[in-house]
Amino acid sequence: MNKTGIIFFPAFDWSLGEFHPEREERLLYTQEQIFEEGIMDLPQVRQYSPGVADLFDVLRTQAIFPDFQQHNLDAHLIAVGSSLVLGNALMKKEITNGFALVRPPGHHSGATVWGNRGFCTLNNEAILINVLRAKYGIKKIAVIDTDVHHGDGTQDIFYHDPNVLYISIHQDGRTIFPGTGFTEEKGGPNAWGSVLNIPLLPGVGDEGFLYALENWIMPAVEVFKPDLIINSAGQDNHFTDPLASMNVTARGYGKITEMIKPDLAVLEGGYAIEGALPYINMAIFLALAGEDYSGVVESQKPQNTEIGGDTIRSFLTDLKRTNEAVRPSWAFRKEPFLPAGDWVYSEKSIYYDTDGFKENRREYIRKCSHCGGTVLMISQKPSVFQKAVLVRIPFEACPDCEQAGYDLAETFQKSEKTVLLQNQLRNQVHLWTDGREVNPFGG
Amino acid sequence: MASLIGIDVGGTFTDAVMITNGVIERKGKIPTNQDDILNTLISALDYLQISKAKNIETITVSTTLVTNAIMQKHLPEVELILFPGTGMKLSSLPWPVDYSVLTGVLDYRGRVVVPADQSEWQTLAEKLNQQSVKPLTAIVSKFSHRNNVFEEQLAAYLHREVPGITTALGNQSGKSNFYRRTLTTYLNLAATELFQNFAYQLKMAVEARGCRAPIRVLKADGGVLPLAKIRPVESIYSGPAASVLGTLAQSNPEESYVVVDIGGTTTDIGLVLSGSPLISTHGAQIGPFLTNVRSLAVRSASIGGDSAVCLDQGEIMLADYRLGPAYCIGGISPTPTDALRYLNLTDYGDLQRAEEALGMLLPENQRTASDLRRTAEIIVEKMVEKIARAIQQLLEEWKTEPAYKVWEVLHHHDDFKFYIQLSGGGAPGLEAALENRMKMRTVLTKFSEVSNAIGAAMAKPTFSWTLHLDTKFSIYRIEETGEQGIWTGPKKPHREVENFLKELAQKQAAGLGIETDDLEKEIFDYFPLVENYHTVGQIVKGAMHVPPGVIGRIQS
Ligand SMILES: [Zn+2]
Ligand SMILES: [Zn+2]
């Protein structure tokens, strides 16, 4: 029997708008279900009270542009904070695993944040992971993202980080938001292979999902040997989900959870408010607590025909072959502002679907054989002619990369309005506005 | 000048007071006879001379009758019939009673997913008919607080097929969860006859003394209800509630404090936030039974003036049981009361015997004044430590209460300036030590020795009405009463829901003899129900309470 922690934070007084799928009603029926079942009365279960994350923990992981005061972060800070409460409980060995059943979700929120994307503003799991690394010295963490959407934000945050393995299994990006997560995306120059994407054909049910887990995902996790496993537990693979077309059942989710054995699961998407969420949340929860979840049965039956058997097995075998054949191709670039070293260059355009604008980003990564490499992101919100810069010195940075980070911060703080330095190595965050360092944390 | 009478039946003593216009006219303690609660109560009423009193407004009792019956397993057998539906396996939770299971599934909104199987009902009726004693039958279905259909239909069927059957239904206490609701329904049904006999005899005894005052019973949530209206199971654990209310009646109405009531074997601890007692977010637990009985958030530390003090490998230990009264008043074992007496922190008991008691804990050659003093100090320290830990646990529990809204999280722990209100036996002797340990101002409650009886006498009636309205299905339900009915209002109601609930509350309160002047409203939640991008209705949740409190204050 596992000692399982739960935080249930449905944010009943927060919503993105009246007709938005990410709505206050999302966890209403889950509440009815888990309360009525008496889950909190299971002797091995401990319910925790939500927490509020502080800005330092956010800015260590994500750059909030042009400044944090322009966003209403209350609900998001509680979703993050609640994940941190469980993370701390896990580290103190009060629990053996935990489920942060919170909204709003977070996995579409990336390294730079100008607004809300895919209902996410802050990335719950990414902030949690970096707290666990900074505060408890955890070295290697695997994230398994079982949401039907590609967790592009989490991938973005850890793309250059060799110590975080990001695995996402999702519906093919050509058929669904956010349009990323192809098997060729395998990580940056210093972290090649630390990203694994498994885009699935629409219609794959429990069978295909579990096949991929057993034959590809879990073996990859085993090779990586993480100290901790985090599950981005999106629930939109369910056969009743209105935004996606996978065919997974609640008991399928129970089985997925049993196979992944996450130390912490954090709720992501899932918009079948009535048909899926109450049942899946129950199944995941029971699986985490080591209880029998076979009694969790949806009131509706799956209608769609499932792609199963040989079709899905040969599809996945081909996909795996493609994945293994991909070789990196880096574009190097020299710029007057870049310190010594080889800098890999890429460009990215990020669409904020909730608010309807675009962010353009230029990214420079210092190629390094000793560490994850310093990262420079020059980010722009063209609609309002705003520009901001993020410099990240990674966890366990080598001296050269650390120095490169300081040099970049010094260069840009003079020329740019907003510059954020995430010094993950020294657990420091510095922010400059108009060339002056400001302390956003108060006190 | 009408008088209020309060009687609190405690483990060792029963407190009794008569209060007129906020002044204590008579007060006293008599020994409790746990095997005869009724006679204990009647003796207490005789002690107060109720037959001579001119004008008694109410008599309020806090009784351990039901608690004792449950703890000593003196309850009759009950047939427990469950419709557990789908979801978590019944075997995941410990069931302190036997049950049988029937077919039928409801979902979280009360929709029938799998109908009941009437052929099973027939078999059940045949089995019940074969029993010689007509059975007490408790019927509970999962989600019956959303739809009582299975419970009502089976009960109707059994009443037709099994003459003389008594049934109790889970939806009559419509709060989640299924497990707690089942055990509550079971306990309440099992305790009903016992309680009704007790109520009848108490009423007769009071009337025989020429007193026509209504008799009320204190509940675990610190409220009172008339003897005839209370659900027996609600009378459990009213003792700690009485301590909290007693303190409330003797302190400033706006203050926030920790109530610490030191008894013989246990110390009850409660929390008052700006004059309102804190209610537990879970239901009360009694022995192995988790219930959904609303109760005050209280903690009971197993330490009191009579706790046995013993030696464990040369170290002084405080046991969590008593071996009779303190040595200094004729007991057989050293106790904290002896330590307090020896240190002259109290004047209760014989000083010479207190010294002897402490001596029993030391080798003969070490019974010097300074050794005895040190031993007494260690006992007091350890007692204070146990109490302090229980206080910290309760404060922690309050701080970590769940919250489900952004607003609640952000305004969760507004600063309260707490102090300690200390009452009970030995309280004066522990005041300084507790203040020192907790770094909190500690104040002695004035009529500390009868504080619980004061609490009972001055407690207000309480009640809550929690509405769950699903306008898509046009069904409303009241959790506390189990009432379920048809909603004829609009699909997207706003303020009319509050008026609806208020009228309902006022009507039912009148039937219970409760005044609703200070009906407190909780913020109502409105969830839009959207199907295929169309709003098809709303789920509305909201509650109104008559909160626990006291009528006026004791004049000191
Ligand atoms: Zn999703
Ligand atoms: Zn480096």
The runs of H, that is alpha helices, within B232-300 are 238-248
Q: Which of residues 120-179 of B touch A (CB under 8 A)?
A: 142-143, 145-146, 176-179
End-to-end CA distance of chain A: 44
- Say yes or no to pLDDT of A306 above 80: no
Q: How far apart are CA A221 and CA B336, in angstroms?
A: 59
Angle at A31 between CA B182 and CA B491, to 5 degrees: 105
- CA–CA separation, B448 vs B429, rounded Å? 13
Length of chain A equals 443
pLDDT tens digit sequence for B411-438: 766 678 899 999 987 888 899 999 999 9
Strand positions, DSSP E, A206-309: 228-233, 264-267
Q: Do A9 and B403 touch (CB under 8 A)?
A: yes
CA distance B297 to B433: 25
Q: What per-residue confidence (pLDDT) applies to A307?
A: 74
- Quick check: B374 and B362 in contact, CB under 8 A? no
Q: What is residue A201's predicted lDDT score, i.e. its pLDDT?
A: 86
pLDDT average, residue stretch B15-42: 93
Q: For B198-230, how does the pLDDT look when each residue is reduced to its tens digit (9 = 90+)?
A: 999 999 999 999 999 999 999 999 999 999 999
Distance, CA B538 to ligand 1 centroid (Å)?
25
User: Which of B406, B412, B530 minimises the CB distance to A74?
Assistant: B406
pLDDT at res. B406: 87
Candidate from A25, A43, A291 with C-beta closest to B88: A291
**Taking the CB of residue B311, how many other CB atoms lie within 10 A of it?**
12
pLDDT for the residue B1: 64
Q: A420 vs chain B: nearest CA distance in angstroms?
A: 27
Contact state of B88 with A23 under an 8 Å Cβ cutoff: no
Mean pLDDT of A54-61: 96
Give the pLDDT of residue B412. Answer: 66
If you measure from the C-alpha of residue A149 to the centroid of ligand 1, how many angstroms do you get, rounded to a whole number?
A: 4
CB pairs under 8 A between A and B: 118
Say whether pTM exceeds 0.80: yes
Instruction: Identify the pLDDT of residue B414.
Output: 64
| B108 neighbourhood in chain A, CB within 8 Å | 29, 32-33, 36, 278
Amino acid of residue B215:
I
Mean pLDDT of B469-495: 91
Environment class of residue B218 by beta-carbon count within 10 Å: exposed (0-12), middle (13-18) or buried (19+)? Answer: buried
**A144 vs A263: CA distance, rounded Å:** 11
H-helix segments, A274-425:
277-288, 309-325, 399-415
Interface probe for A, chosen from B140, B142, B409 (most Cβ of A below 10 Å), is B409
Nearest of A194, A205, A201, A323 to residue A256 by alpha carbon: A205
| Residues near B156 by beta carbon (within 8 Å), at least 6 away in sequence | none
Closest CA of chain A from B290, distance in Å: 8
Least trusted range by pLDDT, from A189-198, A241-250, A323-332, B332-341? A241-250
Residue A108 falls in the annotated catalytic set:
yes
pLDDT tens for residues A339-392? Answer: 999 999 999 999 999 889 999 999 999 999 999 999 999 999 988 889 999 999
Buried b (16+ CB within 10 A) or exposed e, B405-434: bbebbeebeeeeebbbbbbbbbbebbbebb
Interface predicted TM-score (ipTM): 0.92
Span B26-53, mean pLDDT? 92
Using a CB-CB cut-off of 8 Å, the residues of chain A touching B471 are none
- Do residue A14 and residue B406 have CB atoms under 8 angstroms apart? yes
Q: Determine the residue of chain B that is closest to A34 in CA distance.
A: B177
Residues of B within 8 A of A294 (CB-CB) are 89
Q: Is B87 on the interface with A (CB under 8 A)?
A: yes
From the candidates A108, A149, A160, A238, give the one annotated as an active-site residue: A108
Q: How much distance in Å is there from the Cα of A332 to the middle of ligand 2?
A: 16
Are A376 and A408 contacting, i.e. CB atoms less than 8 angstroms apart?
yes
Statement: residue B481 has pLDDT above 80: yes
pLDDT in tens, B315-370: 999 999 888 889 999 999 999 999 999 999 988 899 999 999 999 999 988 899 99
pLDDT above 80 for A308 = no
User: How high is the pLDDT of residue A305?
Assistant: 67
The rounded Å distance from CA A87 to ligand 1 centre is 23
Instruction: Give the Å distance between the CA of A396 and the centre of ligand 2.
Output: 8
Q: How far is B528 from chain A (nearest CA, A)?
A: 7
Q: What is the pLDDT of residues A108-152, one digit of tens each?
A: 999 999 999 999 999 999 999 999 999 999 999 999 999 999 999
What pLDDT, on the 0 to 100 scale, is given for residue A1? 67
* Unique residue bearing structure tokens 């108060």: A442
Q: Residue B49 class from Cβ within 10 Å (0-12 exposed, 13-18 middle, 19+ buried)?
A: exposed
| pLDDT tens digit sequence for A410-430 | 999 988 999 999 999 999 999
Cross-chain residue pair A49–B525, CB shorter than 8 Å: no
| Cβ distance of B87 and A295 shorter than 8 Å | yes
Looking at residues B93-101, what average pLDDT do you find? 96
- For β-strands A164-171 and A141-145, DSSP reports them as parallel
Q: Is the per-residue pLDDT at A323 higher than 80? A: yes
How much is the mean pLDDT over chain A? 94
User: Do B472 and B445 meet the contact criterion of CB atoms below 8 Å apart?
Assistant: no
* Per-residue pLDDT, B410: 85
Sign for the pseudo-dihedral over CA of B22, B27, B31, B33: negative
- Give me the pLDDT at residue A163, please: 97
Q: How far is B394 from chain A (nearest CA, A)?
A: 15
Coil/strand/helix, residue B248: helix
CA A178 to ligand 1 center in whole angstroms: 9
**Exposure pattern of A166-200 as b/e (b: 16+ CB <10 Å)?**
bbbbbbebeebbbebbbbebbbbbbbeebbbbbbb
pLDDT band for B535, please (50, 70, 90 cuts): confident
pLDDT of A99 strictly over 70: yes
Tokens of A440: 């956003």
Mean pLDDT of chain B: 92
> What is the separation, in whole angstroms, between the first and last Cα of chain B?
18
Determine the average pLDDT of the residues in B373-388: 96
CA distance A18 to chain B (A): 8
Query: In whole angstroms, what is the distance from residue A330 CA to residue A191 CA?
Result: 13
Which pLDDT belongs to residue A8?
95
